[in-house]
Amino acid sequence: MAKGTFGERLKRERELREVTVKEIASATRIAPKFLEALENEDWNKLPGGVFGRGFVRSIARYLGLSEENLLSDYDLARGETSVPAVQKPEERIPSPPRWIPALAAVLLIAALVGMVFGGRYAWRRYVAHRNARKASAVVSLPSSNAAQNPLVNSSLAAPLPAKSLFRSNCPSRYPPKRV
């Protein structure tokens, strides 16, 4: 595209619609110096990168023109060709090592086995504790007390060791109590 055709076309379209530079500047929020730079094709006064293309898009929308046609004219006037962006090959997320799920399964099985054996041990301790409590709950008076107390049947009384008056043979965290 020859120099002056893009800027002349932009100015002509603006004047056909009887729109001033100030009106476009307030509607599109583009500084008037940039609008004049576009119409005069003074590329050095325009910001670089996508800003110029954004300005052209905004002006085309405001004036009711085809954005793509005006952008292609802008690119030709500026001497730029739109090069499609090079797509990077897809980067795949690496899969986790195979030993991690195997380790998790082994740990789960070990935890279950530990719970089974721990439960079995706790149950045996509980049963032993319950049997010890039952055995210590049967209280018999010594034979010397049976002779002095006529209300006690001496045939039921059996001599007990001195230790059986206390519940010390019962496994417990608490100190032994007298029965």
DSSP 8-state secondary structure symbol assigned to residue 44: G
pLDDT in tens, 91-133: 888 887 888 889 999 999 999 999 999 999 999 999 999 998 8
User: What pLDDT score does 129 carry?
Assistant: 92
* 166 domain residue, yes or no: yes
Residue 72 lies in a domain: yes
Choose among 109, 19, 13: nearest CA to 67. Answer: 13
Residue 16 domain flag: yes
Say whether both 72 and 134 belong to one domain: no
- Regarding pTM above 0.75, the answer is no
Is pLDDT of 158 > 60?
no
Stretch (H or E) spanning 42:
none
**Token output for 141:** 């008076």
The partner residues of 114 in beta bridges, in order of sequence, read: none
**Residue at 98: amino acid letter:** R
Separation of alpha carbons 62 and 73, rounded Å: 17
Q: The dihedral of CA 143, 144, 149, 150: what is its sign?
A: positive
Do 74 and 132 lie in a common domain?
no
For the chain, the domain total comes to 2
Instruction: Say which amino acid occupies 62.
Output: Y
Distance (Å, rounded) from C-alpha 72 to C-alpha 76? 6
For 58-85, the pLDDT digits (tens) are 999 988 888 888 888 888 888 754 455 6
Residue among 15, 163, 149 at smallest CA distance from 35: 15
Q: Report yes or no on 31 lying in a domain.
A: yes
10 and 73 co-located in one domain: yes
Same domain, 68 and 132: no
Those residues whose C-beta lies under 8 Å from the C-beta of residue 163, and which sit 6 or more positions away, are 169
Instruction: Check whether residue 11 and residue 72 sit in a common domain.
Output: yes
What kind and span of H or E run contains 43? Answer: none
Structure tokens at 65: 């023109």
Return the CATH number at 10. Answer: 1.10.260.40
pLDDT digits over 14-37, tens only? 898 888 889 998 888 999 899 898
Residue 91 covered by a domain: no
Confidence at 49, pLDDT banded by 50, 70, 90 = confident
3-class SS shares of the chain: helix, strand, coil, % to 5? 60, 0, 40
Q: Is residue 39 situated within a structural domain?
A: yes
Q: What's the pLDDT score for residue 66?
A: 87
Q: Is residue 172 part of a domain?
A: yes
Q: Which residues have C-beta within 8 Å of that of residue 63, sequence separation ≥ 6?
A: 13, 14, 17, 19, 24
Structural domain for 151, as ranges: 128-179
- 116 within a domain of the structure (yes/no): no
